[in-house]
Amino acid sequence: MTTGGPPRRRNVVLESMERLRAYGDGMTFNAMLVLMYVAENEGINVSELAQICRLTEATASRSARALASPESPGAMPPALGLIELRQDPYDGRGRLLYLTAAGRKLRDRLDETIRGAQTISS
């Protein structure tokens, strides 16, 4: 039902979530959240990530490790290969989070989806 108001934008949030979900069962809501925040804040550490995602540090760490490349130290299944865990040069135990080439490609596809949003005619 239309109200005669301005046309609405197609729901790019749902379309983006579907693209993310296509990576399989390991792409949980927390993993999506972590991936999106890392995409916007490359080089972030797990503690900072937990704060901005409003997750515990343990949950943020597990989500990041599940998104990591299988060869990354500390990666855990499903190891989707979207995030690289790098040693923090200032904290020997800490890790900094960056997108892998696959992560950047996915980020770019999501950006295209968002830019290509079309209005829904009334």
11-56 pLDDT tens trace: 778 888 888 888 888 899 999 999 999 999 999 999 999 999 999 9
Q: Cite the DSSP H helix spans in 22-100.
A: 29-40, 46-53, 57-67
Count of the separate structural domains present in the chain: 1
Give me the helix-helix angle, 29-40 and 57-67, nearest 10°.
80
Would you say residue 122 has pLDDT above 60? no
Q: For the whole model, what pTM was predicted? A: 0.83
Are 69 and 57 in contact, with CB atoms under 8 Å apart?
A: no
**What's the pLDDT band for 105 if we cut at 50, 70, 90?**
very high
Q: What are phi and psi of 9, to 5 degrees?
A: -80, 145
| Residue 120 resides in a domain | no
| Residue 28 resides in a domain | yes
CATH of the domain at 84: 1.10.10.10
| Residue 86 resides in a domain | yes
The 10s digit of each residue's pLDDT in 79-100 is: 999 999 999 999 888 899 999 9
| Residue 4 resides in a domain | no
| Residue 122 resides in a domain | no
| Residue 121 resides in a domain | no
| Residue 119 resides in a domain | no
Residue range of the domain that includes 92: 9-112
| Residue 2 resides in a domain | no
CA 111 to chain centre: 12
For 50, other C-beta atoms within 10 Å of its C-beta total 21
